[in-house]
Amino acid sequence: MKTYQRIRVTAVLLLGLILNVNAEPLWSNKQSGGDDWLLGTIHLGDDSLSTLPSSIKMAIDSVDIVIIETDLSRVSPSDQQRILMQYASLPAEVTLKQTLSEPVYKQAQQYFANYGVNIEQFSHFKPWLVALSMVQMSYAKLGLNAENGIDNQVQKYALQQGKKVVGLETYHQQINFFNQIIEQFPEVTNDDLILDTLSEIKHFSDLPQVMITAWHNGDMQVFEKIYRDTLGTSKFDAAAEQILLINRNHNWVSELEPVLNQQKVLVAVGTLHFVGDKGLPLLLKDKFELTAPNGY
């Protein structure tokens, strides 16, 4: 079961106010009299991300609450695995091979064979877990892991400093998002999911390093391009964008508004929530006095 224990929901910067140019994507509303910070994160990192920048630590030190996507410190590894199995298991009478066309199943089989993995170990799991496992394996090969992810480091540092840490979503909710893609968009097939994953692994093999470099530089234009390039080419892309980004952004705005008005807060969520015409900056524009220099 080790294949599944390390799988984390990857869904991808946040809302912003004042961008520190040539630095990590950290924003503040202090110039307009506020006391909140907003941080764009990367879920998986390499050694270059292994140390949390001092600017982020200072921001955490200055607030009362740190808000993240999911507070995994409240969910034990065994519970994470149990929840994952609950949502990712196929009905007892169904196998993975039956959920995919023969050509697509063979492509997935070959992908795993290249890593020395027998696809049969996924026989009783849904295709979206297979797709996440493919991505996880490709990222691990590049030396990326959740321990070096900015989300993980923010949470650890906040807890060490005695800050209150709040998750916007439960682990149950995050895992179930992948079921919703298929359930709410019947035009998207399991074949689409696997083929899209294989295509992105092949054609965007340099994407993790591009994102890490852009994060270090606070280069939001790169993230805008990534958003356009990876979420606008297929039916699956459109469905994933709606479930994993747009819907969550709207839900988060409702949760964040009263907290930001009443407390000193740092919010840290994945980078791609911060870009696009349905991104958090635009959704918050009418509710908060958001400003950003340099034309962004």
- The count of C-alpha atoms lying within 13 angstroms of the C-alpha of 59, restricted to the half-sphere facing its C-beta, is 28
Q: Encode burial over 138-169: b for 16+ CB neighbours within 10 A, e otherwise.
A: bbeeeebbbebbbbbbbbebbeeeebebebbb
Which residue matches tokens 């298929």? 182
Closest CA to 11 of 31, 37, 34, 41: 41
Give the chain's residues under pLDDT 70: 1-23, 31-33, 232, 285-296
Domain boundary assignment for the chain:
2-76+144-183+205-284
DSSP H/E element including 174: helix 171-184
Structure confidence at residue 16 (pLDDT): 31
Taking Cα atoms as reference points, which of 287, 214, 292, 284 lies closest to residue 249?
284
pLDDT at 3: 39
Q: Looking at residue 14, what is its pLDDT? A: 29
What would the pLDDT profile of 60-70 be if each residue is shown by its tens digit?
999 999 999 99
Phi, psi (rounded to 5 degrees) for 268: -130, 110
What are the C-alpha distances in Å from 151 to residues 52, 123, 184, 225, 242?
Answer: 10, 32, 28, 22, 22
CA distance 19 to 274: 12
Pair of tokens at residue 270: 């994945």
pLDDT of 290 reads 43
